[in-house]
Structure 1
Amino acid sequence: MNTVFSNFSNAKITEKSLNSVWFDLFKSSDEVLMATGYVSNDAVKELHRILELNNQIQKIDLLVGMHYLEGFSLPQYNSLCELHNFLCSSQRGNVYVSQFVKFHGKMYSFKNQNKFDGLIGSANLTCFWDNLERTYETMLHLNEQESAFKLRKNIQQTIHKLGTPINQANEPTIFIPHNVHLENCLGVEKVDLNKVNMLFKQPAQYQFSIPIKTKERSNLNCFFGKGRIDQRGFIKPRSWYEVELIVSNKITRLDGYPYNKEFTVITDDGWKFQCNTNGDFAKNFRSKEDLKTLGKWIKGRLEANDCLQTGEPVTEETLRKYGNDHFEFRSTDNPDIWLLSFKGNK
């Protein structure tokens, strides 16, 4: 038995981070039980894709404890229903909701043949897919068989007593707004909109219009690309919000373009984070610390305007509905700060 921590910068306590411990247990399991308070729609969609790509995980039961009484967003609810239907149709488990009481626990049980492990502590399911969240989590890892098996039994009892299969619970009639909260992300700052407006009113020495490419497995659609395969053959798909802009060398070779450089971007809606350009001819335009930062900003806007559903590819029709198929990228009087705009007509 030992504790594991998020190990964010300046607070590294354990040798391995909570995320790596959780995922190592998850991908080596044949059965997983999960009882969590909250989930995000993208985490559910990524879990769904993992199960599609990896048959060695034979069974998953998931209890979502808070959303039924506090409210689902429509994408969140749809993602859970789709996951439940997939699990049922393949006889691999169920998704449950707590209809009559809010369940705020976070308990996970992993079975690998006859070996059991458990995690109990503070982390919701979303934590294990999203490394951008600022929240520092800690959990107790139970690897002694008696205690790990007891936790497994407790999770089974919790699901049995509190859980209703999501397709048997009354469908919500009211959904809460869907929002991607960049303010909770590491390395992202909110900028006063008055300052943003002043910056965008200033003349720019350099300005570039970057077309948005809708290739099936890259750019904004990395989620559908080839996943990362470990030595045992386990496939971890790309994150839903993972993106990179592939910029033509007709643009990157123009005078003033930040060629293979790091810089700060301030967006038209007031977010500030680090980006860089790299690769052949500086073709890759990415958020620096995590590719999901830029992806949350771009895809989050498409989702918030009902132009994109989680798990669907970004297409020409997506951009037509949004009303924009270009990013505007412009300089400021500070060579290390650039402005990025992606305004739609909705």
Structure 2
Amino acid sequence: MELLYSNILPLGCDDDERTIVGCFKEQMKNSDRVEIAVGYTSNASLNELDALIDRYAIKKICLTIGMYYIEGMPERSYHTALRVNQHWKASGIGEIRIVKPFKYHGKLFCFYKNEKPFSAIIGSANLGVIKLEATNRRQYEISALTINETEVAEIAFHIEQLKTSICSGNISDIKGMPLIRETNTSLDGIELVTAVPQSSVEFYKNCKTYVSFFLKLKVPRSVDRHIDDGKHYTKSNINVCYAAPRNKRKSRDWYETQLTVGSDIYRMEGYPNKNEPFFVVTDDGYWFKAHTTSDNNKQFSAVGDELIMGRWLKGRLVAAGIVKHVNDTALDADRLGMITEEMLEEYGCDSLLFKKTGQTALDEKGTDLDVWMLSFVSGNDYER
């Protein structure tokens, strides 16, 4: 057994000591198959592992994650794990599995060559040790490398037991695992928007529903994102930022969004009247004034700033790791920032739930306005 260390001052590694991450990469370099079982991962470590698999031409890989089915998984890591899992499965090299019946807190890394395990790392380090971030940069871990055949075989057998169907399943088949929503920072410090405590969100969520509507988000499929006929919703609604700029010298802001409501909704009894403002409280804790405008009051937007709705809606997708913010839409030739059906499918929701709470609040002029709740969550996350 050889001890492996974190290289963190004042306990920096001596010349004859190896770091955990250094040993991990060395073992991978000598392997053609890697089996990993850990309690936790991180978004960065998942991407790093995927890159290392390609770099070292690993032929077979399985990552089993043990704590999230019961505790909940951060949504950014979840969506990254789904993409990595899909990549590995499509390449025929492996998968990512989730432990279901209990919280598994082990940290094991087993390395194979020609179908025979030859070394293993065991200790306190989760997968995050292979790609340090601000959250774990000063977190000291200690592990050990073993090349003892009996010990390595026992660790390999244990990991194989975890991979059986009674213990775990492929992440794409897992249903009911709670997701921990990431914080949307796109509205921080924005004028006309106020953050409200979670207790207030729960209050409005639990209010009696006087009337509610599902507002379908109209977006293209990925294959259609380059349609340029001037009529298609690749250049309208949520993706209006890709339409011709109002000022030829300046491209549209990526957050510019028009939420267009269908006639089947705005003609329903109880839908807000045109140009009559109301307050919106969002399911993630933001408060702003909104209204319906345009012909047949089909446009739904925030009052005073046309970017607020986009910052809320697209900011959620950015926080979840599904799309990246585009600084200049005119330079996004591949339209990677265009919101598509596939993105909404990955997020798990293609509609907004718009609910009248029956509550009112005074605006800055002392006018009593209705309070509506706006939610961007899947049906599993929100009960009407």
TM-score by length of 2: 0.46
What is the CA–CA distance in structure 1 between the aligned matches of 2:315 and 2:57, rounded to whole Å? 35
Q: Pick the structure with greater CA Rg.
A: 2
Contact 2:35 / 2:159 at 8 angstroms: preserved in 1?
A: yes
How many positions carry a matched residue from both structures?
Answer: 197
Cα pair distance change 1:176/1:304, threshold 3 Å: farther
Partner SS state of residue 34, structure 2:
strand
Question: What residue is the counterpart of 1:266 in the other structure?
Answer: none
Contact 1:118 / 1:141 at 8 angstroms: preserved in 2?
A: yes
What is the CA–CA distance in structure 1 between the aligned matches of 2:129 and 2:172, rounded to whole Å? 25
Partner SS state of residue 167, structure 1:
helix
What is the CA–CA distance in structure 1 between the aligned matches of 2:142 and 2:176, rounded to whole Å? 34
Cα pair distance change 1:90/1:71, threshold 3 Å: same
Q: How much has 1:137 moved relative to structure 2?
A: 0.5
Question: What residue is the counterpart of 2:326 in the other structure?
Answer: 315
What is the CA–CA distance in structure 2 between the aligned matches of 1:150 and 1:100, rounded to whole Å? 22
> Which whole-Å deviations, capped at 9, do the CAs of 1:1-56 have from their partners, x for residues lacking one?
121111311213561111111121123211000000001122112222333x3362
> Which whole-Å deviations, capped at 9, do the CAs of 1:99-134 have from their partners, x for residues lacking one?
221101101101133561101110000111116521
Q: Which amino acid aligns with 2:3?
A: T
> Which whole-Å deviations, capped at 9, do the CAs of 1:45-100 have from their partners, x for residues lacking one?
2222333x336200111111001111112211111111111111111111110122
Question: What residue is the counterpart of 2:96 in the other structure?
Answer: 95
Partner SS state of residue 32, structure 1:
strand
Structure 2 residues not aligned, in runs of 5+: 185-313, 338-384
* 2:178 is equivalent to residue 178 of structure 1: no
Cα pair distance change 1:74/1:308, threshold 3 Å: closer
Question: What residue is the counterpart of 1:118 in the other structure?
Answer: 120
Cα pair distance change 1:308/1:66, threshold 3 Å: closer
Partner SS state of residue 57, structure 2:
coil
Question: What residue is the counterpart of 2:40 in the other structure?
Answer: 38
Question: What residue is the counterpart of 1:256 in the other structure?
Answer: none
Identity, in percent, stands at 24
* 1:1-346 alignment, distance < 5 Å: 1-12=1-12, 15-51=17-53, 53-54=54-55, 56-113=57-114, 114=116, 116-130=118-132, 132=134, 133=136, 134-160=138-164, 161-172=166-177, 174-178=178-182, 306-307=317-318, 310=321, 315-317=326-328
Report the more deviating stretch, 144-153 or 303-312.
Answer: 303-312
What is the CA–CA distance in structure 2 between the aligned matches of 1:88 and 1:307, rounded to whole Å? 25
Q: How much has 1:306 moved relative to structure 2?
A: 4.4
What is the CA–CA distance in structure 1 between the aligned matches of 2:157 and 2:7, rounded to whole Å? 29
Cα pair distance change 1:317/1:67, threshold 3 Å: farther
Structure 1 residues not aligned, in runs of 5+: 181-302, 322-346
Partner SS state of residue 83, structure 1:
helix
Partner SS state of residue 110, structure 1:
strand
Partner SS state of residue 49, structure 1:
helix
